[in-house]
Structure 1
Amino acid sequence: MLNYFLNILVFLYVLFAFVLTPVPGLSTITNIILILLLVNLALRSFKLGLYGLNEIWFFFPIFCYMFATILWSTHQHSALISFISFSTAYLGGIAVYISLRNGGNIKSIYYGSLLASFILVYSAITTDIIITNTATNFRAAGISGNPNLMGLCLITCAFFIYSLGKKHIFNNIYPITIILFAIYTTGSRKIIIVIPFIIIYIILSKYKNIQYTKSMFLKLRKYTALLIIIPLISYIAISVTESSFAWERMLKFIEGNDSSSSVRIAMIEEGISLWKEAPIFGHGINQYRYFSFWDTYSHNNYIEIMVSSGIIGFILYYLVYFKILKYLLKSKNNEHMLLYVLMFVLLLVWEFALVSYQEKYVWIFLGISFWIAHYSKSSLILSK
């Protein structure tokens, strides 16, 4: 019975983390589901014990340190609210990992991501919540109210659907479809960056597969297929992106004619100056907005963390990334290792243009990545 409710709660948490977290008034539902999930795990620990708690020691220091920064924050009320937001995302990632270690089924995450993608796509098509830039160009925001966030959530859903689903045509084609949909509708430059990563993944994974083939005829056939698939995917991706507002924005960025990029560069420069004022301990969580000219967050995860928590917090936060990447690179599950390492690199690139340390989808990804690195045996993954 505990396993049944555990999987239901994991499914609901993943679903609502993607769909309801950014929605004012409804985001609390996600946190309620998280509390119920934690209660389920607590009950399980009393009855059966919990596996995996000692394995996630490197997650704890950043949580403790972020809490400590409230003490020297100038605006402590705001810092406390930000810490609560951070802690719910953080605990969600840990809860997902511990759930998978203690009877949770990866299907819960797959189906939660799948349903979330349907809802996000439907909301982007039907909702009136859009950001209009010109008479002909718009950025769909969907239920999230934020086009960048909707695009990032769709990409993460696509990633989980592909990496955790059975290897059949739907789980190969549908993720690519929603990625292209996200590029075309959200106008987010971050999403365009996904395309080269997909091509790199296909080349590396197929090349490795070909190397294990002994028959020269089969090798030749696979190389031929690869030479056909890569240009085909590239052509489809370019055809969609060339007519999208995201591509137009990317060209402006490359040409240096994008006002948004100029503002963000200025925010980064001011963030570096603010970090130099408190380089060791930082100004406190979410204090960039109060010390800077811009009266908002920095739009750069590296700057946000350094200003908030100094070099100590920066090291502790990215220690989590480093440790999981280290375990992934040592993993014997080569297919998933390559996929998840590339997703990590993509996330690190994204973080130059977004603040992600409070995002639930990021911590869910971290929790699943750690589980993939350790326990993704062939009998546990849908795709095998």
Structure 2
Amino acid sequence: MIIRINKNKRKYAIIKAAFALFLFSSTVFWEENSLDLLLASGIVIIALTVITIINGKIYSNAIINCRVIWWIVANFIVFEIYGLIFLRAGSFNWDFVGFNGVLLVCISIMCLSIPSTEELVNIIATSCKIGIFATAIYIYANTINFSNISFGTRFGDALSGNVNTVATCFAMMYLPVIYTVAIKKKRDIFGIICCLVALVCMLMTGSKKGMLVILISFIMIMFLYKKPLKYFIFPIIIIVGIYAVFNVPELYNTVGYRIVDMLASFGIGTAVTAAQSTSIRKDLIVMGLKSFWNSPIFGGGMNYFQFINNARYYSHNNFVEILNGFGVIGLALFYGISLKSLRFFCGQRKRVYQDKESIYIFCITMIVMKLTLDMAMVSFSSLGIYYLPFLFPAMIMYKERRLKQERGKASN
């Protein structure tokens, strides 16, 4: 007996594998001693993209005419030019930046091969489930030891060298999964498990960014869930969550005390440690907003913030870093597609069927999450995974506009 696999299923399996590998490798292999594995993962993703192009019969015209790909290419060309010619301080890893750009183009090409937005969202969510599960297994096998948890313990350094990076990568995977769990009528047991795993991992990193994404996901669910019961259930969940963070020792020792310190930096309550990360970030942002005016149009060059302010660290704010390095032009180039997508989804949300409305809410949430996280991190020169909350909604907008044009031509 010969078992034949549907061609579309085979193509989708390849895309899911590529997406999941991209998510997994971005989370666990971004450290000096594992860069070879990150490179190998990228080569596999490129090979899978070539297979998708051949099997999916994606023509060069479709790739050339895709504005999302042009957005990626334009940004990374600017980064390479500024980094190679106008480097002001530190070093510039042109190969790593270019590598990220190539992988993002590959992800975009694979998105092009998926005909409908519903299928694309389902593939993204499935890939994120696989990414979360694989990362959690890797963490459990290599880094975590619950018996050693003490005050201030945060896991994740062994993966990427930065606990905030691990939390943010989990956040990128968590949001699509919690979305599909929220909208599905049938119980998605694997999705629920992955959501719980991601929640625990984000909390155990002690990252305030992780807590912020959890809050954003609850707001998204409030918009998705139509029944009035939500006004009773979700406040209880939030109250129980807040209580757990400040009363469960393992949670308080990783994230609770950091929230207390953060609030203290804004004049609310008293800090429990000498850490001043939030107040330092505030000072860096103010410093960067002042130095930006030295070259407001085209910026001062790569790492200009560190150069002009004689700062040891970058600004910890993507908006400020881009304004200093690439000016208003660079900021418009980087964030233009997200604002365009946001305007499209907000304007069209009430004009579509209910299933599409939920997808639009999901896209709006992804963009808002990315814009919010960028206020506390520099993402443009970091991992390619940080581009996905802009890239996926932009691809969905691109597909929705093409569908609308095709319907218009058919009606005429």
- State the TM bucket, normalised to the shorter chain: 0.7 to 0.9
Contact 1:302 1:351 in 2 (8 A): yes
Contact 1:158 1:179 in 2 (8 A): yes
What is the rounded CA distance, in whole Å, between the counterparts of 1:160 and 1:20 in structure 2?
22
What is the rounded CA distance, in whole Å, between the counterparts of 1:108 and 1:197 in structure 2?
22
Specify the alignment match of 1:298 in structure 2: 315
Specify the alignment match of 1:308 in structure 2: 325
Select which of 14, 31, 47 maps to 1:36: 47
Select which of 253, 256, 262 maps to 1:253: 262
What does residue range 222-233 of structure 1 map to in structure 2 within 5 Å?
222-223=227-228, 225-233=229-237
Specify the alignment match of 2:189 in structure 1: 170
Select which of 14, 18, 30 maps to 2:27: 18
What is the rounded CA distance, in whole Å, between the counterparts of 1:13 and 1:195 in structure 2?
22
**AA matched with 1:343:** M
**AA matched with 1:151:** A
Select which of 93, 102, 120 maps to 2:135: 120
Name which structure has the greater RCO, CA cutoff 8 Å, separation 6+.
1
Contact 1:127 1:143 in 2 (8 A): no
Specify the alignment match of 1:156 in structure 2: 172
Pick which of 7-16 and 268-277 moved more: 7-16
Specify the alignment match of 2:208 in structure 1: 189
Q: For residue 351 of structure 1, report the CA deviation from its aligned partner.
A: 1.1
Contact 1:180 1:237 in 2 (8 A): no
- 1:25-76 Cα deviation digits (max 9, x unpaired): 4222233234324544665798844535423144443333333323642459
Q: What TM-score, normalized by structure 1, do the two folds share?
A: 0.79
Specify the alignment match of 1:214 in structure 2: none
Q: Does 1:54 align with 2:46?
A: no
Q: Taking every aligned residue pair, what percent have the same amino acid on both sides?
A: 20
Q: Structure 1 residues 67 and 251 mapped into 2: Cα distance closer, same or farther (>3 Å)?
A: same
Structure 1: gaps of 5 or more residues: 210-221, 378-384
Specify the alignment match of 2:396 in structure 1: 372
Q: For residue 302 of structure 1, report the CA deviation from its aligned partner.
A: 0.9
Specify the alignment match of 2:364 in structure 1: 341
Q: What TM-score, normalized by structure 2, do the two folds share?
A: 0.74
Structure 2: gaps of 5 or more residues: 1-6, 266-270, 402-412
Q: Structure 1 residues 46 and 120 mapped into 2: Cα distance closer, same or farther (>3 Å)?
A: closer
What does residue range 69-218 of structure 1 map to in structure 2 within 5 Å?
69-70=82-83, 72-75=85-88, 78-79=91-92, 81=93, 83-103=94-114, 106=120, 109-128=124-143, 135-141=150-156, 142-163=158-179, 167=184, 168-170=187-189, 173-206=192-225, 209=226
Q: Does 1:66 align with 2:79?
A: yes
- 1:68-89 Cα deviation digits (max 9, x unpaired): 323642459933x2x4433433
- 1:175-199 Cα deviation digits (max 9, x unpaired): 5413431343111111112233233
Specify the alignment match of 1:215 in structure 2: none
- 1:129-186 Cα deviation digits (max 9, x unpaired): 79xx995221111522321111111111112223457823426633541343134311
What is the rounded CA distance, in whole Å, between the counterparts of 1:158 and 1:338 in structure 2?
16
What is the rounded CA distance, in whole Å, between the counterparts of 1:50 and 1:241 in structure 2?
52
Q: Structure 1 residues 44 and 285 mapped into 2: Cα distance closer, same or farther (>3 Å)?
A: farther
Q: For residue 20 of structure 1, report the CA deviation from its aligned partner.
A: 2.4
What is the rounded CA distance, in whole Å, between the counterparts of 2:100 and 2:258 in structure 1?
30
Q: For residue 315 of structure 1, report the CA deviation from its aligned partner.
A: 1.3
**AA matched with 1:237:** G
Q: CA RMSD in A?
A: 3.4
What is the rounded CA distance, in whole Å, between the counterparts of 2:389 and 2:27 in structure 1?
12
What does residue range 239-278 of structure 1 map to in structure 2 within 5 Å?
239-242=243-246, 243=248, 244=251, 245-256=254-265, 257=271, 258-278=275-295
What is the rounded CA distance, in whole Å, between the counterparts of 1:196 and 1:328 in structure 2?
21
Pick which of 315-324 and 167-176 moved more: 167-176
What is the rounded CA distance, in whole Å, between the counterparts of 2:28 and 2:149 in structure 1?
27
What is the rounded CA distance, in whole Å, between the counterparts of 1:372 and 1:308 in structure 2?
30
Contact 1:50 1:102 in 2 (8 A): no
Specify the alignment match of 1:238 in structure 2: 242
